[in-house]
Amino acid sequence: MTHLLRNRRLVATCAVGFCVLFTQVAMFTYVTFHVAAPPYSLSTIALGWLFSVYLVGAVVTPFSGRWIDIYGHRVGIASAMAIGGGGALLTLVPSLTVIVCGLALCATGVFVAQATSSSYIGAVTTQDRALAVGLYSTFYYAGGSVGAALPAALWTRGGWPACVALIVAVQAAGVVIAFTQWSAVPPHHDVLLPDTGV
C-alpha cells in the first residue's frame, strides 16, 4: 500500500475521484430542498423523477471513452467538470425547466468525469491495480459522504446559491489537481476501467 501512496499521480487521481462524487451527491441531495420549497413546491414523487436525468449521463458516457483517447485525460476531466459546473450554475435560474436541464448537464459531467478519472488509474499503475482501484474507491465514496454533509452548513446560511458555489469550487479544485498532477498519457496506453459506479 505504501508504494501506491507514494505514486503522486495515483493519489491525485484519488483526490479527483473525491471531487467527482462530492459534486454529484451535494448537487442531487440539496437541490431537492431547493425545488421542494416555494415557488416550485415539488411533491415527493416529482422530486424522485428528477433523478431520471441520470439517463442522459448514462447515454453520453460510452461515447466519452474514445474522446478521452483522442484528447487526453486532462482535457477530458476539464471538459466534464465544465459541463457539470455549467449545469450547476443553470440551477440558479428561477425556472424549473432550466433547473432540470442544469441537473442533466451536471449528471452528464459527473459520469464523464468518473469515466475519465477511473480510467487514468490504469495509466499510472503497473502493479497492484486491484489495490489501486480499492484506494480510489475509498476516496471516491468518502467524497460522496462529505458531499452529503458539508453543504448543510452552507445551506443554513446561504441556501441553494451557497451550495452551488461550493459545488463549483470543488469541481474547479478537481480540474486544478488533474492539470497540475496528471501527465499526458498516449492514447494507446493500457488502461483499466474499475467498476466503482456513480
**Quick one: CA dihedral 4, 6, 11, 12, positive or negative?**
negative
Closest CA to 119 of 86, 71, 87, 82: 71
CA dist., res. 51 & res. 89, Å (int): 18
Would you say 58 and 110 are in contact if contact means Cβ atoms under 8 Å apart? Answer: no
pLDDT tens digits for 161-181?
999 999 999 999 999 999 999
Q: Which pLDDT belongs to residue 193?
A: 44
Residue 192 has pLDDT above 50, yes or no: no
Per-residue pLDDT for 151 more than 50? yes
- Per residue in 4-54, pLDDT tens? 788 889 999 999 999 999 999 999 999 999 999 999 999 999 999 999 999
Q: Quick one: DSSP state of residue 154?
A: H
Q: Which three cell numbers stand for residue 53?
A: 436525468
Cell triple for residue 75?
482535457
Give the per-residue pLDDT at 184.
Answer: 67
- Could you tell me which residues come within 8 angstroms of residue 198 by beta carbon, excluding any fewer than 6 positions away? 21, 24, 54, 57, 110, 111, 114
Q: 44: which residues sit within 8 A by CB, 6+ positions away? A: none
Sign of CA dihedral 127, 125, 131, 115: negative
Position 189 pLDDT exceeds 60: no
Q: Report how far residue 187's alpha carbon sits from residue 75's, in angstroms, rounded to the nearest whole number.
A: 13
Q: What is the pLDDT of residue 190?
A: 44
- Integer Cα distance of 108 and 87 in angstroms: 9
**CB 12 within 8 Å of CB 134:** no
pLDDT confidence tier of residue 185, bands split at 50, 70 and 90: low
